Structure formats: C-alpha cells, structure tokens
Amino acid sequence: MGKNDNLIEVKDLKKWFYPKQSFISKKRDPVRAVDKISFSLKKGDSVGIAGESGCGKSTTGRLLLNLLEPTSGSYTFNNIEMTEQLSKEDLAYFRRNVQLMFQNPFEAMNPRFTIFQSLEEPLIIHDIGTKEERRERVIEMLEKVNLSPVERYMYSYPHQLSGGQLQRAVLARALIIDPLFLVADEPVSMLDVSVRAGVLNLMDEIASSMNLTTVYISHDLSLIKYLCNQTMIMYLGAIMEKGPTEKILFEPKHPYTRVLIDAVPSTDPFEELKELNIKQGIGSAIQAKVGCKFKDRCPFATDKCLVVAPELQEVDEDHFVACHYANEI
C-alpha cells in the first residue's frame, strides 16, 4: 500500500455549488453540500453514511468517485492525490479500482445490450483478457452473484430480468474488474422488501471474500447495521458522529444521531411511537452557519452552541462526536 495502511484519506473536503446569476438575479449564497469533512478508510473497511435528504451523503459519494471536483480540501486514494491533475496512468488506475453500484438497476444498464455485453464492456475498456477469457470471466461473475443457470441470463436484455436479478447483474458488472473500492448509493431502495435480504447477503459475502472497501449511502439504518463495521452520520454537509457501527447505533452521543435512531419504525404494532427530541423545521445548506450546524433544531443548544462550532472529538475509542456536550446529555 505504500506510505500507510489507509486506502482512502479525506481531509477538510468541501463541495460548494454556486448558483448561476442572471441580469436580474442578485448574487446568491452557495449551497454548502459538503462542508469540511475528514475521515480515512482502511482496505476492507465497510462504512455506512447516513442522514436526512440533503445532508451531503450522496455528494460525498460522488466526490469519492471523482465525479465532482471538490471546492477545496484533500482526497487521497491509495497515495494518489485526487485533487491534483492526474496522469493518464493514475486516472486509468483509479477508474479500474473504484466502482459504483447504482440505486436504480433499471437505469444502470444499457437497454440495447445483453447482460453479457454489459458485463464484458468493462473488461474490453480496460483491455483485460482475450475474448475467451472475458467470456469465462463473465460466466464466473454471474455464478458468483447467483444468476444461474448462466445461459438463462447471459443473453437476456435488462427488461427481461426482475429488479432483484438486475441488481445482481449490476453488482457483477461493478466487481468484474476486481476493484479495490465500491460505492453503493441506496443499493436496495428500489427493490421489493422480499428480495432485499438476498441482495444484501450477497453483497456482504462478496465484499468479505474480496476484502473490498465499501461505502454504503443509505437512509436505512438497519441496512448499515447489517453491512457496515463503521458509520458516519452527516447533517448539512458536516459529520456529526462517526465510529464503530455498534457504538453509533447502540451508544449514540449526538442528539441528531439519537433522533435518527428513534425515528426508525418498530416491528411491534403495540409499541408506542417515540417522541422525537428535535425542534421542528428543516435545516438549510445555503445559509452560512455560525456555531453548530444543528443548533436551530437541537433541544439542548446553549449560547456556546450559537457561536462556537464543535470539532469532532474522540469520546471513546475510535468514536468521534461533534457536540460540546456529548458526554453530558
């Protein structure tokens, strides 16, 4: 791995979107989608990013995939600084070793390609193997994602497969070139509940067998609990809490994390609904925030929270919280 054991290192990464101006519009504040986040991932880590819509988790995923140019900060992949101008060799290396699993399998595949053609295409692009070796690799991956008998699926078109079958094919295409890093953005949200468990089990088995570093972006804390050994909670572009998943979900320290956990529906029909300990309203990523980003909705906010932004502090081993009163509330 080179200099250290971290596959990914992110330091003070920002992505602000600046609205276009016209003759009649006034200058508007930027959307602070990702606002100075820092974290690192070791090879084989499985990390879940959770938070409300608009918290910045999908933008973070796009930054990790190099699909967006950051406003500032540093992002290093396997000792390659991604915020600098990349050589052709480094860019080719990155594209081969970083893959995306799309949220909607029905939009992820070319409808004019058979499943075989879609899976063979990455091998052709990266000049991997002979024609016969590529065919064998496609067969191997289809079997690995439990799409068998292979002959039934290889020459089918996407519209001929169910959602669960197609998402397995999407996973096979992402992994067919043996990447080091996979970003999965809401990977089962488009699937029926009855087939989600099968796809999640498959993803967990394959990630473990390949020692794959994975980032799962999801609203579903139960998915993160099942798949991820690390969890990051985001709010308005900032990391509120991060650490081992067991600690985040069973010993949460940040008021926002507690609200997200309390909001998860119970399977017990007789259990009373929990009252969410949060002030009404929706935060804005446009308005500049002085102090804590969560202060307007936090029931525990004090004068200090209004003017001083809390830094991520380690409250337990590898457990970090951005709250002035993490050990008091």
100-148 tens-digit pLDDT: 998 888 888 999 999 999 999 999 999 999 999 999 999 999 999 999 8
State the sign of the Cα–Cα–Cα–Cα dihedral 271, 277, 279, 281: negative
Establish if 1 belongs to a structural domain.
no
In a domain, 299, yes or no: no
The identity of residue 237, as a single letter, is: G
Q: Is residue 122 part of a domain?
A: yes
Q: Is residue 39 part of a domain?
A: yes
Residue 156 identity: S
Number of domains observed in the structure of the chain: 1
The reported pLDDT for the residue numbered 23 is 62
Q: CA 123, CA 138: separation in Å to the nearest integer?
A: 9
Residue 304 included in any domain: no
CATH no. for residue 165?
Answer: 3.40.50.300
Residue type (1 letter), 180: L
Residue-range definition of the domain harbouring residue 198: 6-19+28-264
Whole-structure pTM value: 0.91
pLDDT band at 57 (very low <50, low <70, confident <90, very high): very high
Residue 282 lies in a domain: no
